[in-house]
Structures are given as structure tokens and as C-alpha cells.
Structure 1
């Protein structure tokens, strides 16, 4: 292997061809060459994490062969040391030697952590440039987001071709700190920045919009190389990151936890189907004030609100429609041009709509299991359509309170098996994945024409299976989920929602 500090005179300025796009796919492990070969067929920009193999030097001949056969690919070589978040256990000098060989093999960029530059001096960067590669000087914080301006100041004396700053977002405010850095310095065309962690996903999607030269993704079907990294197909095809610009409208789902939410898949599909210049993001927070800061900072047009924020956002609303007033909860926000927020509850229509297509609601006898927010949406929506509603809840006092407020009856468990209803609606969390609650009703107590389970993941819940065994007409929770999403989409965009496509992608994602 050549000496690490052989500084030839062919140093060049960093350039990433327009054909590379804005998404760099990180590949790692013993199969990284094959993974890269598969990736560059559709995405010519890849990063080889050489530190992810036991002997990075032994990978170099295969890397050289790959580069020879894929000359249109734009390739970054990284060999991060263990002390700075990587897996390479060698010295800084050994790291530089490997990166220089990768540059000589044809990698157009190398990623070197700032700590290595501080240890070895400017000669370490010149070694890379002498081998024909541009230098990305990187800094990572795997636990938090400190002040980022001092980090940039720390890196400037080395005058790298690009700066890469990657903290960890513990809050959405942390993600905004990263966005602020990008907006201030991204115009120079030499800053790559994003936040790790699920709360940093918005920075991975919106980074190029605010000035990041590119963003990272994982290869499809393989784990990411950093926390919060999403796959190429999700970033490129679902979020359409290559098309995001300063004109792109932003929508989002907010709550905690939302890592398993189907809303981004459903709404991004709908936006793409409608050919709208818009993107829909996941925002994980339980803090309504923090959410409001993000909405204002990013100029978010509309939001889906999930637990635990459905009641917490109420004080933020300048307008509430009748469904919000009745249900005492808001699941949909619309931001007007003057910045004021209007609140709606599309859960009501999401429940009433599918049921009204099965039975005549006026005069119908309907039992609602539970007394929480979903139950309130069901009760007031059904009462408005003229149904007679009964409530059954584990805590009888809560059912009595909701019953008194809505003019509904309270059903006792003792007489349930002898009582018949036109429909029974499960609004409890029973049946959700990882839930360990006792069943709110037994198969023998399912005396009804229609059973509607508001739980949508999984589609086939224990209660759905029990009702099916009894020959009862079934409405799965996915019907409610898609219907309320359709109503959200139409409130936000004033376009007709592609309901069929929305249902298709959700069913596909749930394995149905």
C-alpha cells in the first residue's frame, strides 16, 4: 500500500455530477460490492463503508474492479474509526492509507472525520487530494444536538471540499437546529447535514431543500448505517426527495409513537397520484408547543394528529368545526395563509361513513366498546345520524360520563349476551400489535349484524376473527383509517382523494 501522505499535484475541487442526484446510498458488510452493483442500476451515487468489514484493505481490489466497471457511478469511501462511531479498529495513519488507496482506485470522494484531521494535520487531506479525491470532513454526535456553529468553526481551518455535520435529534427542536444551520450555510454548496434518529427523518427528507448537497439512504432490503436512515425506495419513491424544492408544500402526521404509522405511505401515495408538488412527513412528538414551532418554522400546510396530541392541540386552534367540539378531540389541522390553525375530526366520518354503507343508521341500535377519544368520535357521529347508542367500558364511570354528555345508554356486561344490536364497534386498543389487554367482549356476546373493529393493524384482529366465525358482517379498521385519511386529503388540498390507491398501498403495507 502506498504511503499515506504522498501529495501529488492533481488536487481538484469537489464536484458531484448532476446525474448523481441528491441521494447517496450507504452500503456495508461483506456483500457491499454486490449491493452497490445492484443499487447503481437506478441510483448512481453510493458510499462504501469500508470500516464495516473485518479487513478493509482486502476489500480494495474488489472495489477497484467495481469502479472500473461502473465509471458513471459517483462513489464515496468511508473508513470510520471505532472511537468516532465506526468499526475500524486501526490507527489514524492506517485509516488514511486505506482511504488513499480507495481514492486511487477511483472513488471521487472520501469521508474523513474531523478528529483524524486534527490528529494528523492538513497533510491527511492533501493525501486524499493527491490521490484524486475530494475530501468530505465529517463530524458526528451519536447522542445529542449541541450548538452546531462551533462545529463548523472547528472544521473550517482544514478547508475541506465539503463539510458533513450529523448530530442526533432527541427532539423536533433538535431537527430544527439542523435545518437552521443548513439554511444559513447551505447556500455555499459545500455542506452535507442531517440529523440521526427517527426525529431527524424530516432533515433527511428536507435537507436538500434547505441546502444540503445530498442526503443518505440505506439500500432496499438492508439495514441502515446510521440511526433513522431510511431506504432508497422510501426516500426516492415515497417521499420523492429528488423533486422537493422551496415550492413543495409540506404535510405531516404528528404524535408519539408514530414509527409504525401508515399515514406517510397513504398520503404520499395520494399526493403523487394527484401529481401535487407536496410531501408528507412523520413528526414524532408528544409536545403540542413543540409541534406548533415546527408547523410555523416549516410552513406546514396540514397535519394528521394522533395520540397523545388529539386533545393537547385544542388550545392552538383558531377555529374548530362541530366534529371537534362534539368529540372533544382533533385529528386534523389545516393551516390557513394567515398562519391560523383550523381543527377538524375526520375520525367521525371515518367511522360513520363505512357503517352507513352497511346499515340504516337512523334508529339503529349500536354498541360502542370503550369510552376514549375514538369512542367519542363514534358516539357523537352516530347520534347525529339518529342512532341509539349503548356504551360498554371497563371503567363504568367513564361510560356513564360519556353517556350523560351524549345522551347514550350504558350497557352492563351481565346482560350483554342476551342483548342484540344492529352493530358493535370496538374503539378500544384491544387487538393492536403488542397490546396485552383483556378482550372487551367474547364471541358469545357478539350478538349483532355488523362488527366494526377500529383497530387496523393487524387487519385480521382477534375480534374480527371471532365475528367472522359467527357469520357476522365485518368492517375492518382499515376502512375507517382510509376513510378518515380521504377526508383529511380533501380538506387540505381541495382535490378528490384517490381512495382506491390509498386503500391499496395501506393493504399492501399491512400484508393483506
Structure 2
């Protein structure tokens, strides 16, 4: 059962909203007193769930509804003909298993309650594990809905139609009544007799938020008829989250900053397999969670094929020493980009990379004295752009500047263009590595049309 909540912006015409919800495929409409108090009775196209939440729904309550949803501590309200939901929410975190079970059983003990609903803020994969166990145990005792809110909620929300009595959704992303809610359209796209296979993106909060990977994979899954979902996992503790995601049955992960090294360490600790590029670089960006995890480094492939048209280069400056730099160094060898120097603030990191790959290194300030015919900018910030030297116009080909970020033009790329460089962003790397991930996750070979589709998605979003 899909439930959508009446948003504030539709309070002037709630009947029209219920008609839109019905047309979209929802089964019920929730009216919350804290969002839209004081509504007069209206002709609803769908059955109503009334959730006072301290607000005035008196006129609607008097008329009756399909369900009334109250927390156990609230004074019991009368609503003719309504079945009862007892709910409990924690908007700050996910309590321990025993505490949540106590809350659920307390709610079920309220007279007349037919459905127990718990919703907590999930900030980690371990929180998702706790909520899964709570749902399993409470469902053995009666109808239950256990929901996740917050940064890790998407995974639980995707699976909710197969695990919960009710699934709360939204018509538009902007109208979500809780962080992590999915649209009705997305739920219907994922519908089927069995849950979808789940893949996802593991990275820092900012990296997950700006990534194009979710849009890429949803388009690819749709184009190839795959019953699969792709969700974000904005992780603070990659080691703990990777272990929990494996236990939760996630099939595969794209891995982005800052967790590429931690993901490779996870594979080694689980006695899994690292591809040659991942083993050599000590990082990975693709993780298949089989009986033994398998890690791949497809950033190197993305760089190799995405920028092969730049041709051989005889003096290369790599700016930064983060998790993607090993992939840049591997691609440089294959694309015949020679005389490489790593320019970075972190002396220890650049020295380690230099020794591993046999390249020169120097502090970030040394970039100003270089005369590179290719600069690969791997930093997530622009504050070092003033160190960039003027492009050497005496070269047979204009020096190139590749900023591995994508989307809107960056200050570093704009400054490079002013200095005479041919500028490229990170779109080509992103598209080629995503296609390699898709092939690995699904054992389906992508097509030229798929490549064009992903570039079009990036162009539309920039």
C-alpha cells in the first residue's frame, strides 16, 4: 500500500491533490495536522489516513477516515470508522534493538491498534540492520511498518513495498514528508513480484550528493530491462558500513571519495580478489559483493579510453595525491603520457605514490615552475589554481588541462582556459567507468547508445 502525505502547498485544494495521487498510483493519502491543520472536510478521491501530530484535524476526524495514526503518548482521539495505527518516531538517531522492540510492543499494546509503525533516523548501514531485525520480529507479532529516515533511508525505502504493511511515498521529491522518501513513480518503476537487486554508491556525503551515478544506473537499468535499484550510501565509517551492506545483501557498489582505499582494504580483509589495477594502485572504485568480494579499479579504464584522443604527452603534471591518483598514473602509462610529476601538498602521500609508480613528485607550489603539456587536476577544490603556469604556446599542440570534476565549469578550469590550455572536464572518465561498472554488475555489455545516453544526461544536468 502506497501512502502519500498532503503537502502544505496543496492545503488550499486537498481534493485535487488526492485526485493527482490516485492518478499517480497511490492507495491512500495521509493528512498530517502539523503540516496542514484546520482543513475543512473535502471529497477525497482516495481513503484518508489522519495523523494529528499535535495539529487540529477536528473537522476531518469528526467526518471519519480509513485510518487514524497516533503516538502512544497522545490523548486518544475518536474518528468514526477509522482503524488505528500506533506510531513512534526518532528524528535524531536509531536506538538499540531492545529499545525499539520495547517501543513497538508498547505501541501494539494500545487498545484497538491494528498496525504498529516505527520510523528512525538511519545514519549508517548498521542502523539499517537494526531496523530490519526490528521489522522481522515485530511482524511476527502482527502488522508492522518500520521505516528509515535520513541519509541511509533510500535502501530501506526501496525495499519497503516487500517488507512493510504500508509504504510512505511522495508525488514530488520536493514534497517529501520525511528525508529519504521515494516518489510513487519510482516505487512503481521498481514494482514486481520480488524485490529489486540493489546496487549503490558508497562515498562521503558531498560526493554522494553531487554524483551522477544514480541517474546513470537508473537509466541503464531501465534501458536494459533490469529489475534493479541504485541508491546512495553517504558513509562516515566505510569499514563498518561495508560489512553491514554485505550482510544486508547489497549486490555491488560504486565507490567514490574518500573511501576508495578503505574499500580495497575491506576486500583484502575478507580474502577477496582485487583486479590488477586495484591491486597495483591500492584503491578501487567498483565492488562486487559476492561470497568473496571482488574489487575493480575502473577509473583507470575511464581515463584511458575517455582521453585517448589527447594523444601521447611528453610532460605531465598531476595535481593532488588523493584516491584517484593511482588510476591517473596507470592510465598515463597506457596513453603514453610520460615524464610525470605529482604536485601535491601532502608530502607523505606524494612520496608514497612517487615510489610506487616511479614518477617525480614536488610540492603544490612547484607547479608554477613546470611547463607541462598536460595537467590532470584531481583536487576537489580550486584554491591552488594560481599555481598553474601559463600554457606553453611553442608546443606543436596546445597543452591540455583535464579537471576530473564534471558538471558546472570550475574556477580552476576557467583559469586554465584563460592561460591558454585546451580544457576538458571529468565527464569522459565518469561515463566510461560507469559503463564498465554496469557490465560488471549485470554481465550485460553496454552499447554505443548507452554511452550517448549517459553523456546526454550529464549535458542536461550541467
The interval holding the TM-score normalised by the smaller chain is 0.7 to 0.9
**In 2: Cα distance, 1:161 partner to 1:413 partner:** 64
**What residue number does 2:48 align with?**
75
**What residue number does 1:7 align with?**
none
Distance apart, 1:276 and its partner CA: 0.8
Determine whether 1:399 maps to 2:342.
Answer: no
**What residue number does 1:249 align with?**
197
Task: Specify which of 81, 87, 95 is matched with residue 138 of structure 1.
Answer: 87
The farther-off stretch of 477-486 and 212-221 is: 212-221
Q: Deviations over 1:247-295 (max 9, x none)?
A: x322111122123332222212211211111111212223234223323
SS in 1 for 2:148: coil
**What residue number does 1:25 align with?**
4
| Change in 2 beyond 3 A, CA 1:177/1:346 | same
**What residue number does 2:292 align with?**
340
SS in 2 for 1:148: helix
SS in 2 for 1:444: coil
The farther-off stretch of 382-391 and 267-276 is: 382-391
CA contact (8 A) 1:394 1:440 kept: no
Task: Specify which of 30, 55, 68 is matched with residue 47 of structure 1.
Answer: 30
Distance apart, 1:414 and its partner CA: 7.7
- Within 5 Å, give how 1:191-270 maps onto structure 2: 191-209=144-162, 211-220=163-172, 222-233=174-185, 235-236=186-187, 240-243=189-192, 245-246=194-195, 248-257=196-205, 258-270=208-220
Determine whether 1:311 maps to 2:261.
Answer: yes
| Change in 2 beyond 3 A, CA 1:177/1:98 | farther
Determine whether 1:321 maps to 2:272.
Answer: no
The farther-off stretch of 482-491 and 283-292 is: 283-292
Distance apart, 1:331 and its partner CA: 1.4
Determine whether 1:451 maps to 2:427.
Answer: no
**What residue number does 1:15 align with?**
none
Determine whether 1:279 maps to 2:237.
Answer: no
**What residue number does 1:17 align with?**
none
**What residue number does 2:69 align with?**
111
**In 2: Cα distance, 1:49 partner to 1:198 partner:** 23
CA contact (8 A) 2:101 2:138 kept: no
TM-score (norm 1): 0.78
SS in 2 for 1:465: helix
Distance apart, 1:137 and its partner CA: 1.9
Distance apart, 1:222 and its partner CA: 2.8
CA contact (8 A) 2:345 2:363 kept: no
**What residue number does 1:11 align with?**
none
| Alignment size in residue pairs | 440
SS in 2 for 1:371: coil
| Change in 2 beyond 3 A, CA 1:272/1:115 | same
CA contact (8 A) 1:253 1:303 kept: yes
**What residue number does 1:38 align with?**
20
| Change in 2 beyond 3 A, CA 1:253/1:468 | same
Name structure 2 gaps, 5 residues minimum: none
SS in 2 for 1:135: strand
The farther-off stretch of 43-52 and 404-413 is: 404-413
SS in 2 for 1:243: coil
Distance apart, 1:212 and its partner CA: 0.4
The structure that has the greater radius of gyration is 1
Distance apart, 1:453 and its partner CA: 0.7
Q: Deviations over 1:387-418 (max 9, x none)?
A: 31222223456434422321223367788567
**In 1: Cα distance, 2:63 partner to 2:9 partner:** 16
SS in 2 for 1:254: strand
CA contact (8 A) 1:249 1:279 kept: yes
Name structure 1 gaps, 5 residues minimum: 1-21, 82-87, 432-436
- Within 5 Å, give how 1:137-156 maps onto structure 2: 137-146=86-95, 147-156=99-108
**In 2: Cα distance, 1:417 partner to 1:148 partner:** 58
SS in 1 for 2:149: coil
**What residue number does 1:3 align with?**
none
Task: Specify which of 52, 59, 62 is matched with residue 101 of structure 1.
Answer: 62
TM-score (norm 2): 0.85
Q: Deviations over 1:291-320 (max 9, x none)?
A: 233233222221111223211222321111
**In 2: Cα distance, 1:200 partner to 1:251 partner:** 14
